[in-house]
Structure 1
Amino acid sequence: MTRHHDTDRTPVTVIGLGRMGRALAEAFLRDGHPTTVWNRTAAKAEPLVASGATLAGSVADAVAAGPLVVVCITDSDAVRELLDPAGGVLGGRVLVNLSTGTSQAARATAEWAAGWGAAYLDGAIMGTPAAIGTADAFLLYNGSRPAFDEHEAALRSLGAGTAYLAEDPALSALHEMAVLSLMWNTMNGFLHGAALLTRAGVDATTFAPVAKASIETVAGWVSGYARQIDSGAYPVDDITLGAHAVAMRHLIDESAAVGVSTELPRFLASLADRAVNAGRGDDGYVAMIEQFRTPEEKR
């Protein structure tokens, strides 16, 4: 169904039409924004054009189409490589980078954009493509505060959970990496647990509700753990870190006994053992933060 543009809505350009990029463009279209799109493979734009988007003939044409340019491609390094030939038309526009990348790359891209006279916002998408444009999408922005204030209404088309944090553009990438670490560690814990149980003939679907309840319990600890981290004091809430280290060795033994990889529990146990050896054995589990804060070369 073709969507009609609202003449009061900010024109938006979306560059990069992978699954996430298409979702971003669709959200802008649903909210009535005149939307220009560009992708290396032009065929990916066809459903969006059928919904009312305009396909730009080049990257430069896409940038020139409106005051707000949203890019979602491989990473921040690729953003600079792709847009550099079109840098001459970036001046006076707002560039929003929703590509994944490191904090160093975000700062480099901000400096690069400033060199072309563009305001820069670095964003992190905390959600799946299916969530974009809904109350379930949470997006963080850092960089130019005036640029965010000017285009906040348009950016809220992408998700109800839209927040600005600080002028430092690197904070978006740092938040995204922190959340990815949390996601991967949670999923790997579930997968290792499922490997243990399926070896004993227990279906993963049987384990799933137990795992979900356990994850929700752990989620309830996060706020208290955060206060401990900020205070630098790690009281014992349940059992000591030393006792956790003993339990980790049981997990290693159990994994080996049933024929499951011991790599993950061995890694966790090695961190716990280092913390105990550093004098943290009688502290609470949150004392493990000191191990994550210490680079390998300084241990």
Structure 2
Amino acid sequence: MREDTKKISVLGLGAMGTAIARAWRGAGYGVTVWNRTVGRAEALVGEGAEVAGTAGEAVAASGLVVVCLLDDASVGEVLADADLMGRDLVNVTTSTPGQARRRADWAGARGARYLDGGIMAVPPMIGVPDSGAYVFYSGSPELFADHRDALAVPAGTRYVGEDAGSAALHDAALLSAMTGMFAGVSHAFALMRGSEAAPREFAALLVEWLTAMAPSANGVATHLETGDYTLGVTSNLVMMVEGNGTLLRTAEEQGISPELLSPFMALMERRLAGGHGDEGTTGVIDLLLR
């Protein structure tokens, strides 16, 4: 166990960094903060946090150092002159899996243990019990074990492996699915624009429908694990591609662009043309692999 497990330094006081630091301070941790714009630390000082004059001083103040900056390049710039020897560095800055792996190597070469984090929450959810907020963590299992209790204060923790890039990969995968959902929701509301249905009434139907459809991800997982993309399929590609024609004609009648749907529909057609009409949509995944 490393020393100073009740002392934490937080570098970066944007909305998320401030929320994280405030959660630890509220839980009784000794918190040292640093930010390029010093004024952002004033509220935290009033709550008992210490302010470091430089990033290096913030790193030196605690055994556990949490970095929440703009991007990966900012992490390298801010910590360029800091002595990381013997520190535990937790980087919750948004990055790609490749950047996280390179940053882990960079930290290790400077004598630090490294953990990368992907925050699955917005700032108002941080430090709020039962908000559903959690953070994916990957990298040093020893670091995670030593600081598990502290890391669980701002949000729930989900350790996803020793590969430092795993947290960022999980983060991007879930956000990509969310983006696709937003695309479908946007197209659905566009279709209903100008109809007699009130937006809030339609929203209730939409939420109910999407909630019912979400478990279909389990079927996709079964297909990928077994290699049989026809297991449990009730609406196959032949049926769905035929149905897509109706969706596109409806969009045209309503004066709505199909651009949010067309790319996925085109992939479905390609898979069907390849002789996979008895499958569901899992085979589209194979078309995405480069």
Q: TM-score, normalised by structure 2?
A: 0.93
CA distance in 2, matches of 1:14, 1:49: 13
1:228 aligned to which of 217, 223, 232? 223
State the secondary structure of the residue aligned to 2:193. helix
Structure 1 residues 265 and 199, CA, compared in 2 at 3 Å: closer, same or farther? farther
**Residue 259 of structure 1, CA deviation:** 1.4
Residue in structure 1 matched with residue 84 of structure 2 by the alignment: 90
| Higher normalized helix content (fraction of residues) | 1
1:108 aligned to which of 79, 91, 102? 102
Pairing 1:101-250 to 2, within 5 Å after superposition: 101-133=95-127, 134-135=129-130, 136-159=132-155, 161-235=156-230, 236-250=232-246
Matched, 1:254 2:254: no
CA distance in 2, matches of 1:139, 1:175: 10
1:188-224: CA deviation from partner (whole Å, max 9, x where unpaired) = 1111100110133533212111110111111222223
Q: State whether residues 14 and 69 of structure 1, in contact with CA within 8 Å, keep that contact through their aligned partners in structure 2.
A: yes
1:70-108: CA deviation from partner (whole Å, max 9, x where unpaired) = 11112223211221122xx21100110101111110011
Q: State whether residues 9 and 32 of structure 1, in contact with CA within 8 Å, keep that contact through their aligned partners in structure 2.
A: no
2:93 aligned to which of 94, 99, 102? 99
State the secondary structure of the residue aligned to 1:230. helix
State the secondary structure of the residue aligned to 1:17. coil
Residue in structure 1 matched with residue 60 of structure 2 by the alignment: 64
CA distance in 1, matches of 2:152, 2:114: 17
Question: Percent sequence identity over matched residues?
Answer: 38
Q: TM-score, normalised by structure 1?
A: 0.91
Amino acid paired to 2:190: A
Amino acid paired to 1:40: R
Q: State whether residues 9 and 65 of structure 2, in contact with CA within 8 Å, keep that contact through their aligned partners in structure 1.
A: yes
CA distance in 1, matches of 2:102, 2:198: 48
Residue in structure 2 matched with residue 3 of structure 1 by the alignment: none
CA distance in 1, matches of 2:253, 2:237: 24
Matched, 1:49 2:73: no
Amino acid paired to 2:11: I
The number of aligned residues is 284
State the secondary structure of the residue aligned to 1:12. strand
1:255-276: CA deviation from partner (whole Å, max 9, x where unpaired) = 1221112111211211101111
In structure 1, runs of 5+ residues without a counterpart are 1-7
Residue in structure 2 matched with residue 268 of structure 1 by the alignment: 264
**Residue 178 of structure 1, CA deviation:** 0.2
State the secondary structure of the residue aligned to 2:135. strand
**Residue 162 of structure 1, CA deviation:** 1.0
CA distance in 1, matches of 2:249, 2:12: 48
Structure 1 segments of 4 or more deviating over 6 A? none
CA distance in 1, matches of 2:261, 2:133: 33
Q: State whether residues 229 and 289 of structure 1, in contact with CA within 8 Å, keep that contact through their aligned partners in structure 2.
A: no
1:228-250: CA deviation from partner (whole Å, max 9, x where unpaired) = 22222112532111211122222
Residue in structure 2 matched with residue 4 of structure 1 by the alignment: none
Residue in structure 1 matched with residue 70 of structure 2 by the alignment: 74
CA distance in 2, matches of 1:249, 1:73: 46
